[in-house]
Amino acid sequence: MCQVLAKEMEMSKVFIIEHPRNNIDVSKAKDFGKIVYLFDREDRRCSAWDHKKFGRTVLGRLKELDYNPEEDYICIVGAVLIMINSIIAIAQSHETFTILLFNSIEDTYIPKVFKKG
C-alpha cells in the first residue's frame, strides 16, 4: 500500500503560480509531488490586475506543463490577487481540482478538493 501511494505521489505535481518570497519555505509541499513553478522570477507576464488575461495565461501555462486536475495540486502561496485570479480561472475550467493550504499549527500542507456543484 505504501509503495503504491509513493508511486502515485511521484507522478503528481505541485504547481506554484509564482516563486514565493525568500523567507517562505515551500519544501514541505514536496510531500505531495514534484514542485513545478508556473512562472519563473524572470518571466514577463501580464498584470494580475487584468484578471481575464491573467487567468488565460495561467490556464495556458498549466496546459503547457501537463497539469492534471485529477492528480496534481495547486499550492496556495504568494500574492493574494494572483492566487484569487488563478483559482477562479482554474475553477471555471475544471470540474474538480485540489489545492494545498499550509497549516502553520501542524507545520504541514493540507489538501482541499474543490468540486463544482
Domain boundaries, the chain: 2-115
pLDDT tens digit at each of 117 positions of the chain: 455 555 554 579 999 998 888 878 899 999 999 999 998 877 777 788 888 999 999 999 999 999 999 999 999 998 899 999 999 999 999 999 999 999 999 999 999 999 987
Query: Residue 98 has which C-alpha cell?
Result: 485540489
β-pair type (96-103, 13-18): unpaired
Task: Tell me which of 2.40.160, 1.10.8, 3.40.50, 3.40.1350 is the CATH number of domain 2-115.
Answer: 3.40.50
Helix (H) or strand (E) holding 55: helix 51-64
CB 13 within 8 A of CB 64: no
Query: Taking the chain, what is the end-to-end CA distance rounded to the nearest angstrom?
Result: 32
- Please state the pTM of the whole predicted model: 0.84
